[in-house]
Structure formats: structure tokens, C-alpha cells
Structure 1
Amino acid sequence: MTSNLPKHVTIDAFVLAGGQSSRMGEDKGLIPLNGKAMVSYIIQTLQKARLSVKLIANHAAYRNFSLPVYGDVVINKGPMGGLLTALENTSADLVLLVGCDMPLISVEAIAYLISSIDREHLIVSMINNKPNPLFSLYPSSLKTAVREHVMADQLKMTDFILNNKTTLCKTFPGHMSGCFQNINDKAALLALETNWEKAKLDILKF
């Protein structure tokens, strides 16, 4: 799929695994979903899309995935700090930042996001008219601006995105919205496990 990228544009995909979830009571990406760590589904999909995959995580267990793992360059700064860590550890033109709690993300959604990229624009996915910072493309040229926001404790990613002059919004069609289901608590996890096959079929049929 990366063969569809504009010539000489490179992407590194970083999965933001974070740390312990207050609602889950444990590290969200490592929580079992149908016998596999939740983050493993996202890794597999990114690899199917032929992207270079790296992890931002502090738990030693993430090294079992045999991928590059980076701890936060500035601790306790949330997803904005994770973005800074990604930008500090890439030589690619763009970083695709992905949350660890969207196991239904699809190759088709990735292809749709990158279909109009260039080196200069921040491409933010819009799901149900809301920006999703954790499925968006960030140019490496934003590293200094991101670092300044992190060091000033200006950590709201939506504010950073919507106030950035290079931002382009990529609105996803309604039939893709299921790809972005967040598994934020045990009830959502149980519901997805119960309806796993149907959920996967609903994603794949489009």
C-alpha cells in the first residue's frame, strides 16, 4: 500500500501504547482481546499496510513484539508527549500516530488517510465531525513546535491541531466509523469480544 505514496515521501507509524489506564486498571495495549494483546491487532494492520512500525511505551513487555520501543522523552505529558517522542525518533517525512485502543483499524482506513499526503501538511482524521489526533499524520517539520507546546504544558492535542496553519482535515465516510471504536473500559472490551466476528465482518465488507 505504501507504493501509493507520493514519490520520496516516507512514513513511520508509531503506536502510542502509553501506560496504565485508570479505567482498565492495567496497561491498555497489553490487555488480552480474544487471546492476543490488543495492541497486536494494530501492529498487524500497520504491517499489512507495509508501514514501518515503532512503539512508544514504558512497559518492558512491549519489547516482546520485536519492534523498536521508545520511552517518553518527557514523562507525564500524555499523548502530546508521545507525539514529541515519535518526532524525536524518526527520520521519516511524516509520523502516523495511532492509539493502542483501536483494534478494528483497517488497511483501508490507513490508505484513505494517506491518499492525499505531502511533506508539509498535518493530516488529521475527522470521525463524525470530530478530529482524532491518534489517527493522524504529523510532518517531522513540526518537531520544534510540538516540543515548545510540551515544555509549556500546552498538552491539548486538538487545540494544537486546529490552531496549526498546516492542518488539513480528512473526513472519513460514515461506513468507516467502526474502525475507530475506542476500547476504553472493561464493558467496551467485553462487548467487542462478544461481537468480535460481526465487528470484523462489518469493517471488511466495505
Structure 2
Amino acid sequence: MCSVAKSFACMISQCNDITGVILVGGKSRRMGQDKAFLLIEGLPVIERIIRTMQGCFKDLLLVGDRPERFESYGLPVVPDLYPGSSLGGLYTGLQHAGTDRIFVTSCDIPFSNPELIRFICTDTNPYDAVIPATEGGLEPLFALYHKSCLPAMQTALEAGNFRITAVLQQLQIKTIAPEQLRQLDADGRALLNINTPDEYAACKELKP
């Protein structure tokens, strides 16, 4: 395994066979405006995430409706096969990826940490998924997934069960413990997400 202290050269080589997937299909109901285009430190959140992901993965894929919103970024956008849920977006990303594994992030995590991403993407066998475990629980929308997850996801979606947590119970998961996260994310910003105006205001107050 590539430890936290080892060079990025080892980590980057592990990411060549992984597709980066950004979920952009959320309705932003609580925010009242499209979260992907909120400005943080002068840049839209989606652009911050794309820049980070491009530094980690050769191939990127956006999953969500209304692809015209993202034409200027020159990346492929595929519509959700099961619209209306994060699980549907995750399933769609796995289905369309040209690699066996994907790293997925939602479009409301503005401080994505490339070091943490690369660490999550190492030493995955024989796991179906690698997911950070924060003090508040698992963060399944900043995680690594294998196509071996697809049957369980499809069964849940076809049954009308759109909860990611229900599917995770059926998978073999490796978790990144909170103490490991703190080594890679000293300022605690990497997994912050913005769902409400108050959370957005708090993120804008954080120092670069």
C-alpha cells in the first residue's frame, strides 16, 4: 500500500485506471440556486472540483441532467439512468465509466483535497468500495467504487430504494478512519459540503 508519507508518484500511478466522476444532478432545493456555480475564492465550485480531479485522473465524467450548463468545460455529461437520487447518479457513473473503478464526488464539496483523493484510490483489492469515515459517519459521495457494486445498486434502484446506505450494507467496504483523514486533511476542509445558504456563508469565511 502507498502510505500517507510516500511520494505522489506511487499514488498517481494507481489512479490511471480510475475514472473521476462528478455528480451534478442535484436540484439544490435547500440552497435555492445551483450549488455547482456558487463562487468560492472567486471560482465556481464545479470549476474548483474539476481542476482538482483533472490533477488526479486522466478521464473525467459528469453525471446529471441539463448538460448545456457544463458545455464550457469540454467534459462528457451523461444523464442519470435513474434520475432524482445520488444512488442513481453513482450507478450511472459506474455504468458509463470505461474503467472498472470510479472515484466519485458530488458538486457541493468545494475544498477537494488531491492528496486525500489519491490516498483513497490506493490499495483497493478486494473491496467493492473505499469510503472515508468521519466523526459524523460515512461520506459515500467522496469515495471509490468498483463495478462489482452495480448488481446491488441496480436491484435497489429497480425496487425503488434510492438510499445509498441500504446498498452499502451489501458491499465489502474499506473505510478510511477519522484519524487517517486528519493526517491528510489537517484543516478539516476536504469533506465540507454546502447545502444551505448558511453553510455557503460559512465556507466563504474560511481562509484559503
1:52 aligns with 2:59: yes
* Root mean square deviation, CA, Å: 2.2
1:150 aligns with 2:157: yes
CA contact (8 A) 1:2 1:51 kept: no
> Which residue of the partner structure matches residue 30 of structure 2?
23
> Which residue of the partner structure matches residue 169 of structure 1?
175
Residue type of the partner of 1:69?
V
CA contact (8 A) 2:149 2:171 kept: no
Residue type of the partner of 1:173?
L
Deviation at 1:58, TM superposition (A): 1.1
CA contact (8 A) 1:9 1:119 kept: no
> Which residue of the partner structure matches residue 73 of structure 1?
81
CA contact (8 A) 2:128 2:148 kept: no
Q: For residues 7 and 83 of structure 1, do their structure 2 counterparts lie closer, same or farther at Cα, with a shift above 3 Å needed?
A: closer
- In structure 2, the gaps of 5 or more residues are 1-7
Give the distance between the partners of 1:54 and 1:95, measured in 2 at CA: 10
Q: For residues 136 and 112 of structure 1, do their structure 2 counterparts lie closer, same or farther at Cα, with a shift above 3 Å needed?
A: same
Deviation at 1:25, TM superposition (A): 1.1
Give the distance between the partners of 2:9 and 2:23, measured in 1 at CA: 21
1:38 aligned to which of 41, 45, 48: 45
Identity %, equivalent residues: 23
CA contact (8 A) 1:125 1:136 kept: yes
Q: Deviations over 1:96-135 (max 9, x none)?
A: 1101111101111112211222364311111225111101
How high is the TM-score relative to the length of structure 2?
A: 0.84
CA contact (8 A) 1:6 1:118 kept: no
Give the distance between the partners of 1:65 and 1:46, measured in 2 at CA: 13
Give the distance between the partners of 2:61 and 2:15, measured in 1 at CA: 20
How high is the TM-score relative to the length of structure 1?
A: 0.85
1:105 aligned to which of 97, 112, 124: 112
Give the distance between the partners of 2:98 and 2:126, measured in 1 at CA: 12
Residue type of the partner of 2:37?
L
Q: For residues 18 and 48 of structure 1, do their structure 2 counterparts lie closer, same or farther at Cα, with a shift above 3 Å needed?
A: same
1:187 aligned to which of 171, 176, 198: 198
CA contact (8 A) 1:12 1:53 kept: yes
Q: For residues 145 and 5 of structure 1, do their structure 2 counterparts lie closer, same or farther at Cα, with a shift above 3 Å needed?
A: farther
Q: For residues 108 and 152 of structure 1, do their structure 2 counterparts lie closer, same or farther at Cα, with a shift above 3 Å needed?
A: same
Give the distance between the partners of 2:164 and 2:78, measured in 1 at CA: 20
